Amino acid sequence: MRVVIQLHPATELLAAVADPGTQVAATDVVGDLPGFALENTYDPIHIPGFTPGAAGGAETFSAHPADGSVVVRGEIPDDDQSVLSALHGSSTVAGVFADPVIESVLTCGGDPAVGTWHDVETLLHSGDLTAAGLTGNGVALAIVDTGINADRVNQARGGTFTIDTKRSWNPQGVTGTAGQFPVDHGSMCAFDALIAAPQAAYLDIPVMKSTRQGGSTMDGLLSDAVAAYAHLRTVLSDQPEATRALVISNSWGSFSPQWDFPVGQPGNYSDNPNHPFNVIVRSLDAAGADILFAAGNCGKDCPDQRCGFADHPIGGANSSPNVLSIGGVDTKGQRVGYSSQGPGRLSDRKPDFCAYTHFLGSTVFGANDPDTGTSAACPVAAGLVAAIRTTHSATALPPAQLRALLQRTATHHDKSGFDYDYGYGTLDASAILTELQKTNAARA
């Protein structure tokens, strides 16, 4: 079984791993761990230390490397409790966690497109956003997916956009240049984010380019996402605090419990807030990143055939209270049948809201094939968040406050203001603009 092991090595090793300018070999960190086959090519990743909030208050993350931990990855024998017991008994091991397969969120639906991306443009009030100066200009928008083919996206849009090659990142073992990957799922996601944020700086993070033996071209490992988020944490911390803005779009998830430890076991991912990836997600949120995840395509009306959870299909980081979990509606405002329903596993009130999907847009999968799934809804929403960040930095409007704004202004589909089909409702760009204008007037 593939796992990531969380370690507490010596302080000087922790500091070296936390330093982006220092290369530390995995063998130097691990030492001798019985039954664990270390993957030497995976660089150790520093995970920030955190202190839970008292009486339900916000947790705090430490900037000091010695307060954190390090994760490495490798394999242990399947169903061998003696190896797990020996690893947990090691003085340096803080935890042994699942490293599940993660897969892009496609759709099970074969229905024709409902509207076009120009309809989505109208529904997002793109003209009003531009008039207000909200184009995403200067905002880093990371597409964590299969890689972007910029030429294909530009061809579909009839325009150009910026790939930030300097701040883009490849997982170990993945070759290719930012913006020049084969046309695939990531190109669709970039196209859809561009609808609301045409001037953002796009970071190409091809985590879904598989590095596991026997994997498909559309899946990867959660440990690669841990490494990607460690890189994005540096991207965020390198920005001036006054203008800090990083939006991260994730149209992927872990669909099957077969790749995970059982729920209730300490190494589980789907229900465990202490899994290293769930921790690093929260640390980026605390530092000012806006993180969006597709809710998934496991809706009861039309679930994707890969959906392995009998209930509560929104799990892991996709259900974190520190991210926006995005469901899908068509351009008529109707929930698409494959959009996953709550409650979530880490946070009950998921999805947060719905954004537009199943429209004719990038045509990366065929001239008449829609941009579909919550895979499309997530970057549509991420583009709107990036547009907002053009003039409202994470320092002025922290991610938690922005999440509350989006939830409050959504078009509610239930009298209570929330339901498990639509979350808080459908994203309402016009109402968001009105609220932002009120805020600006109050500050003037």
Tokens in use for 378? Answer: 């997530």
* 201 DSSP assignment: E
Place of tokens 């998830």: 253
Q: What is the DSSP string of 187-200?
A: HHHHHHHHTT-TTS
CB 379 within 8 A of CB 192: yes
Place of tokens 């496991």: 298
CA distance 414 to 410: 11
Active site residues: 145, 185, 375
Question: In 124-241, which ranges are continuous DSSP H helix?
Answer: 126-131, 150-157, 185-194, 222-237
CA distance 183 to 169: 18
SS3 22: coil
Kindly state the helix (H) or strand (E) to which residue 18 belongs, with its residue range: helix 11-18
Handedness of CA 369, 373, 375, 381 (dihedral sign): positive
CA distance 355 to 58: 28
CB 258 within 8 A of CB 79: no
Name which of 388, 443, 423 is nearest 134 in CA terms.
388
CA distance 224 to 209: 10
Angstrom CA distances, 97 to 15, 210, 422, stand at 23, 20, 32
